[in-house]
């Protein structure tokens, strides 16, 4: 299930072509590959984490995620470039209803739509 979530997140990152989030996601995928696969019948353990970074261009990246003992996962990652004002906030859930995401952005070329259980809300001109 974790590999499915990571794969879906990777696809969403590729769709939106964000380099900073993509680097963080690829690092997470490498870490999952290096970790031993848990027994499919293991009870999920609750967890949560937060991370924030600023790159050399001043772009702020943030990510937070939490999972519960039923295997439900909720999280959010975002970036904002203070120089350009461009931002993206991706909120997601993975539970018994599958993977769902909501993207809020003002990135040029985006428009409000709802493809494949991903709600995109754009305020781009």
Cα–Cα dist 67/75, whole Å: 9
Within its chain, how far is the Cα of 43 from the centroid? 24
Which residues lie below 8 Å from residue 10, measured CB to CB, with a gap of 6+? Answer: 25, 26, 29
Cα–Cα dist 122/25, whole Å: 23
pLDDT digits (tens, 9 = 90+) for 32-49: 655 555 556 678 899 999
| Each residue's pLDDT expressed in tens, for the chain with a length of 125 residues | 565 555 455 555 545 544 445 555 556 666 665 555 555 667 889 999 999 999 998 999 999 999 999 999 999 999 999 999 999 999 999 999 888 999 999 999 999 988 877 888 889 88
Helix axes 19-34, 2-16, angle to 10 degrees: 160
Q: Any idea where the domains of the chain sit in the sequence? A: 2-122
Give the closest residue to 64 by CA, choosing from 48, 80, 46.
48
């Amino acid at each position: 299930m974790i590999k499915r979530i990571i794969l879906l997140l990777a696809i969403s990152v590729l769709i939106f072509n964000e380099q900073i989030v993509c680097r963080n996601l690829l690092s997470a995928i490498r870490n999952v590959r290096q970790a031993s696969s848990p027994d499919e019948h293991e009870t999920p353990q609750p967890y949560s984490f937060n991370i924030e970074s600023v790159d050399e261009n001043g772009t702020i990246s943030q990510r937070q995620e939490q999972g519960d003992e039923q295997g439900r996962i909720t999280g959010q990652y975002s970036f904002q470039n203070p120089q350009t004002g461009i931002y993206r906030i991706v909120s997601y859930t993975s539970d018994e209803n599958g993977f769902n995401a909501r993207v809020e952005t003002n990135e040029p070329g985006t428009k409000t739509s709802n493809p494949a259980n991903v709600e995109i809300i754009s305020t781009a001109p």
